[in-house]
């Protein structure tokens, strides 16, 4: 019997998680089954179980692969490394425009799957705990918010503006507001089309959020 190489194993696993991702786009995460993946890959049942013992193991590797395709951390570092003499107002728009770029590109892909995993977490927390068992590093959006709060905190200490809320309150507000925008955009674009959908364009919503954040930071826009 020929020796199975590590490259062969990794290629097979990549084929399986790619099939799982495609199915999560076509369906909803909670309705994807092992049989769906078997049918999609053309592998036998034994062939699938040779590499993964259940669907949640597949989803765990799929999530790791998804995160490799997200460059929010890298883009955030680029923005803040080039901040120089930019005002807090300019930086706010740069941050949210970068998020809008990502959402527009991945609304029907990574964002949809990520949202459905969040829904799954509410309905089957034990499953998501298993899926996330190898995904413990800080999330891209959490990283961006932490970097943003660090930047805005320095600006506040320099007396550049008189904030209308504490840094902690602003950070919590951004997290909550972004989650709401993300949910509305995904629901309206991925699951139903209606005349109101045009109101839920990511860039429009995130630009409004940027204005609100500047107000809370005490920044007077020209």
d(CA 128, CA 41): 24
* Domain spanning 6-63, CATH architecture: Orthogonal Bundle (1.10)
pLDDT at 87: 79
pLDDT at 1: 46
pLDDT at 199 exceeding the cut of 50: yes
pLDDT at 175: 92
- Of 31-40, 53-62, 80-89, 169-178, the least confident: 80-89
Cβ(189)–Cβ(200) under 8 Å?
yes
Q: Where are the domains of the chain?
A: 6-63, 70-216
What is the number of residues in the chain?
A: 222
**Sign of torsion over alpha carbons 63, 179, 103, 174:** negative
Name the pLDDT band for 193 (thresholds 50, 70, 90). Answer: low
d(CA 91, CA 113): 29
d(CA 183, CA 177): 10
Query: Which token pair is 129?
Result: 């705990």
- Mean pLDDT in residue range 31-48: 95
Average pLDDT, the chain: 88
Instruction: Write the pLDDT tens digit of every residue in 61-115.
Output: 999 999 888 888 899 999 999 887 777 888 999 999 999 999 999 888 999 999 9
Question: 180: how many CB neighbours lie within 10 A of its CB?
Answer: 12
Residue 43 Ramachandran class (φ > 0 left, ψ -120 to 50 alpha, else beta): beta
147: nearest Cα among 72, 63, 70, 69: 72
pLDDT at 134 exceeding the cut of 90: no
pLDDT at 156: 81
Share of the chain above pLDDT 90, in %: 60
pLDDT at 194 exceeding the cut of 80: no
Share of the chain above pLDDT 70, in %: 94
């Amino acid at each position: 019997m020929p020796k199975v190489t590590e490259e062969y194993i990794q290629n097979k696993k990549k084929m399986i998680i790619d099939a799982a991702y495609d199915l999560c786009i076509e369906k909803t995460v909670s309705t994807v089954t092992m049989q769906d993946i078997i049918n999609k890959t053309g592998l036998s049942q034994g062939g699938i179980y040779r590499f993964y013992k259940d669907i949640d193991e597949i989803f765990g590797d799929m999530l790791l692969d998804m995160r490799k395709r997200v460059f929010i951390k890298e883009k955030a570092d680029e923005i803040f490394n080039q901040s120089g003499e930019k005002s807090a107002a300019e930086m706010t728009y740069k941050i949210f425009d970068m998020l809008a770029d990502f959402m527009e590109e991945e609304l029907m892909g990574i964002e949809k799957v990520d949202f459905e995993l969040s829904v799954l977490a509410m309905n089957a927390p034990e499953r998501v705990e298993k899926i996330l068992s190898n995904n413990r590093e800080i999330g891209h959006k959490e990283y961006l918010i932490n970097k943003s709060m660090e930047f805005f905190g320095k600006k506040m200490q320099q007396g550049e503006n008189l904030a209308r809320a504490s840094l902690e309150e602003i950070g919590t507000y951004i997290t909550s507001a972004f989650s709401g925008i993300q949910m509305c955009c995904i629901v309206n674009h991925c699951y139903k089309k209606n005349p109101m959908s045009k109101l839920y364009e990511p860039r429009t919503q995130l630009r409004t959020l940027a204005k609100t954040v500047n107000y809370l930071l005490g920044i007077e826009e020209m």
